[in-house]
Amino acid sequence: MRGGMRKLGMRIAVVALLVAAYVLTRHQAPAATPGPPANPKTNATIAQTAWDICVAGDANAGIPVSEYPASFNPNSLVNTATCNQAVLQQINLRHRAEGVAAMKLPGDFNSLSPAMQLLVVANAERTSRGLPAISGMVASLNKDSLVAARAGIDPNPSKADGPWTVYDSIWAGGYPSALLADFDWMYNDGWGGNSNSTINLDCPSPSAKGCWGHRDAILDNYQLTRGEILVGGAAVVTTGPASLTLPSLAAAFEAVPASAVKLSSRIPG
């Protein structure tokens, strides 16, 4: 099994962007070769105008986080067509800067479940770079991800996951949409110049192995061998204990023999 099984996963830090405190995480294991595509040299942050579009329907839009009334609920998801389009445009600016194809989302993206949206976006990041697509969602990885989302940690492989050869997982807290989480996982995951400006908790220095770990998890080529496919699972929760940063989003991916898994659904797109 290519030198044995390997597991990757990851984490991200707390930063306020008008509305949300962001936390992302992932475990990092030694990368196999060939690795994922090259990472950006510097972080990119989403334009304030895009964020303003996402919160435009909220009465608290434009109010500093420190001045939000006690009744404000920052845990809700934002899944409007205008918000998703604004963030997609920001993502595609990064695609253009990297010289890769624009991300394209299915026409029914806004009506998909938040968990499926996470996998659709991850798949679109992969296929726009010519990487193998995620074949589908599997129930075992959904369960792994739900356990993780409820706990605010990276998903870990359960015994039900079968004979996987590569397992990778990511978690984020405080992001109100799949696309907003994707932006920071993919384009704001490195060293930010100082600890206060770095949202990736596994990137405590410019040379730390965990820098860009979320991006590497999404773009790992998984070294699929004959008969293997890449499958995924995800979960999003918006309620939980006070200690849990909400919304809490988790996703897991694994390379596994096609004969060992049953897809619960295909990934639209």
The tokens of 177 are what?
């949409």
> What are the DSSP calls for 210-251, one per residue?
TTTHHHHHHH--TT--TTEEEEEEEEEE----TTS-SSEEEE
Rg (Cα) of the chain, in Å, rounded? Answer: 17
φ, ψ of residue 253 to 5 degrees: the values are -135, 145
Give the whole-number percent of the chain exceeding pLDDT 70: 79
pLDDT band at 136 (very low <50, low <70, confident <90, very high): very high
Tell me what pLDDT residue 29 has: 40
Q: State pTM to two decimals.
A: 0.85
pLDDT digits (tens, 9 = 90+) for 148-185: 999 999 999 987 777 899 999 999 998 889 999 999 99
Average pLDDT, the chain: 83
Query: Residue 50 burial by CB count (10 A; 0-12/13-18/19+): exposed, middle or buried?
Result: buried
3-state secondary structure of 85: helix
pLDDT exceeds 60 at position 120 = yes
Q: Is 52 left (phi over 0), alpha (psi -120 to 50) or beta?
A: alpha
pLDDT digits (tens, 9 = 90+) for 21-30: 445 544 434 3
Which residue from 118, 128, 79 is spatially nearest to 214, judged by alpha carbons?
Answer: 118
φ, ψ of residue 211 to 5 degrees: the values are -60, 135
The tokens of 255 are what?
């390379």
The residue-averaged pLDDT of 44-48 equals 92
pLDDT band at 54 (very low <50, low <70, confident <90, very high): confident
CA distance 86 to 247: 20
Query: Residue 152 burial by CB count (10 A; 0-12/13-18/19+): exposed, middle or buried?
Result: buried
Peptide bond into 34 cis (omega under 30): yes
pLDDT digits (tens, 9 = 90+) for 213-233: 999 999 999 989 999 999 999
Q: Are strands 166-173 and 6-7 parallel, antiparallel or unpaired?
A: parallel
Output the CA torsion 39→127→97→222 (10° steps). 10
